[in-house]
Amino acid sequence: MRLDVVTIFPGYLDALDLSLVGKARRDGLLDLRVHDLRGWATDRHRTVDDTPFGGGAGMVMRPDVWGVALDDVLGLSADPSGAPDAPDAPGTPDARGADAPGAPDAGAAAHRRVLLVPTPSGDRFTQAMAEDLAAADQVVIACGRYEGIDARVAEHYRAEPGIEVHEISLGDYVLNGGEVAALVVVEAVARLLPGVIGNPESLVEESHGAAGLLEYPVYTKPPVWSGLEVPDVLASGHHGRVARWRRDQALARTAERRPDMLAALDPGALDRADLKVLAAHGWFVPAPRAPGTPVAPTRVRVRRATGADVAALAALAAATFPLACPPHMAPADVQAFIDTRLSERHFAAYVADDARYLVLVAEAAGELVGYTLLVLPREPGEPPYAPDVADAVGARPAAELSKCYVLPAYQGTGVAGVLLEATLDTARTLDVAGERLAVVWLGTNQGNRRAQRSYSRHGFTVVGTRRFRVGDSLEQDLVMARALHVADPTAQHDGGR
Ligand code: 6GU
């Protein structure tokens, strides 16, 4: 590949003689030429800049000087052989030998030529761009200084057939010129060229690579340094476990440092273990809305509901409650239950009365996807309202987890578990007239094994049964309970049943 850098500070690019890039040049894998822009200036002072039209601070680089320089380097000059590339000022380090004028190579029609203009107002330079550039035949980097290059230069070459123009930025900060960006681009592109890196395997797993994750942390000898040990798994010799550990680390790092990268992951490339790591960091992959349209991982946050949520809460309750009802229940009964317990008016009352109710919501991309409703006793000794439950749940004060629902798209993703744990965590901080809450109980339909399994995983155990009426149907519920302040969740039944 051929790479040309045009700059008023050719010496800045001397570093490209070193290391891998220097070796690639010496090995003929990379034809890198650095040119002094002043070689194309025509006045006695070799001027390349002038004052800005419209006024303002600083100087702007002249389009006419850049135009002849870039025409030469890109091989667009009428008479390429006459290009004044050679007359660099004595002492400029443009002594690359191979610095012939930019005559177009034979077969130029098939050539992909790219003009890069580094500028803080460009598109962010990425690994994907580096990979794209590595496939080009010629990349020319036009390094501006001062306030930049006259805007007509990029415009002019954009209109030139066969030339791609990209204005690129390294990041959100301002440098004095494009030379550092040229170093960055050359290094990022050169290492992707065939033969430049001895072991191409090492390109596979790196940060910003195909996996779309940051790289896992790496370690070498000594095994203990400064009191810090290398993680045991890496010395286990167990390739499968090492690979899993590295992937877990990559996922966790990316979740913590670059959530924007997680949102761009292909959910099809995530296995169950991946989903667990992501869930632990608050990221979930909802089911597709339509088959074959996978949804990207989504950040889900759990928080207390506010008055602003009541309309969305009522809509969520109306969407989720019927799905949890057994199939034989009359739709009219289900609707009547919603109207008398889960309307907007009811949620407004729940949210407003935080001595009596705790409402948490799970929010994803501004949408409510789940909620819990915990009902607190009015006084510490108040038993659960139904005698069968009062007997089964012995400890006081006892709060009822009345609702714990998530949208179908988030069922099985772990969101319900996060919502439930957050509810228990908040419940642990609550008291009823000075006595801290001791137990949370709930009734769940006997047929709903999925819910029961989920509550069991979160420390609930079955303590009894109750009857639960929805309209005409009298349902048999399991009563499950969980102590809030003991390590052993089975210890809660002393005095119960
Ligand atoms: Cl490419 N150029 C300049 N001058 N400043 C920058 C930049 C480029 N990228 C970030 N800051």
Within 6 Å (CB) of ligand 1, which residues are found? 118-120, 168-171, 173-175, 177-178, 181
For the CA of 148, the closest atom of ligand 1 is: 4
- Give the separation between CA 359 and CA 438, rounded to whole angstroms: 18
Q: Which atom of ligand 1 is nearest to the CA of 144?
A: 4
Distance in angstroms (rounded) separating the CA atoms of residues 491 and 495: 10
SS3 state at 330: coil
The rounded Å distance from CA 181 to ligand 1 centre is 7
Pairing type for strands 298-304 and 283-284 reads antiparallel
Strands 367-375 and 357-364: antiparallel
Cβ–Cβ contacts within 10 Å for residue 336, how many? Answer: 13
Between the CA of 204 and the centroid of ligand 1 the distance, in Å, is 28
What SS3 class is residue 429? coil
Query: Which phi and psi (to 5°) does residue 483 adopt?
Result: -70, 145
Select from 178, 101, 185 the least CA-distant residue to 144. Answer: 178
List, as one string, the DSSP characters of 43-74: STT---EEPPTT--SS-EE-HHHHHHHHHHHT
Residues 6+ apart with CB under 8 A from 118: 141, 142, 143, 144, 167, 168, 169, 170, 177, 178, 181, 182, 185
pLDDT per residue of the chain (497 residues) written in tens, 0 to 9? 999 999 999 999 999 999 999 999 999 999 999 999 999 999 999 999 999 999 999 999 999 999 999 999 999 997 654 445 444 433 344 433 334 444 444 444 468 999 999 999 999 999 999 999 999 999 999 999 989 999 999 999 999 999 999 999 999 999 999 999 999 999 999 999 999 998 888 787 788 888 899 999 999 999 999 999 999 999 999 999 999 999 999 999 999 999 999 999 999 999 999 999 999 999 999 998 888 888 899 999 999 999 999 999 999 999 999 998 888 889 999 999 999 999 999 999 999 999 999 999 999 999 999 999 999 999 999 999 999 999 999 999 999 999 999 999 999 999 999 999 999 999 999 999 999 999 999 999 888 899 999 999 999 999 999 988 778 888 889 999 999 997 655 554 444 33
Residue 492 corresponds to which tokens in the numbers above? 């809660």
The number of helix segments (H) and strand segments (E) in the chain equals 14, 19
DSSP conformational letter for 38: G
Asked if 414 and 275 touch (Cβ cutoff 8 Å), the reply is: yes
pTM: 0.84
Give the start-end residues of each E strand in 143-202.
163-169
Residues 6 or more apart whose Cβ sits within 8 Å of residue 99 = 33, 34, 35, 85, 86
Structural domains present in the chain: 2-198 (3.40.1280.10), 204-296 (1.10.1270.20), 299-483 (3.40.630.30)
Q: How far is the CA of 51 from the centre of ligand 1 (A)?
A: 21
Could you identify the atom of ligand 1 that is nearest to the CA of residue 177?
4
- The predicted structure's pLDDT at residue 90: 37
Question: Are the CB atoms for 213 and 207 separated by under 8 Å?
Answer: yes
CA atoms within a 13 Å half-sphere pointing along the CA-CB vector of 452: 16
Report the run of H or E that residue 237 belongs to, with start and end: none
| Best residue for ligand 1 mutational test, from 129, 145, 174, 185 (most atoms within 8 Å of Cβ) | 174
Helix ranges, 408-448 (H): 415-428
Distance CA 191, CA 20 (A): 7
**Considering just the CA atoms, what is the radius of gyration of the chain in Å?**
33
Give dist(CA 287, CA 267) in Å, integer: 10
**Residue 165: beta bridge partners?**
115
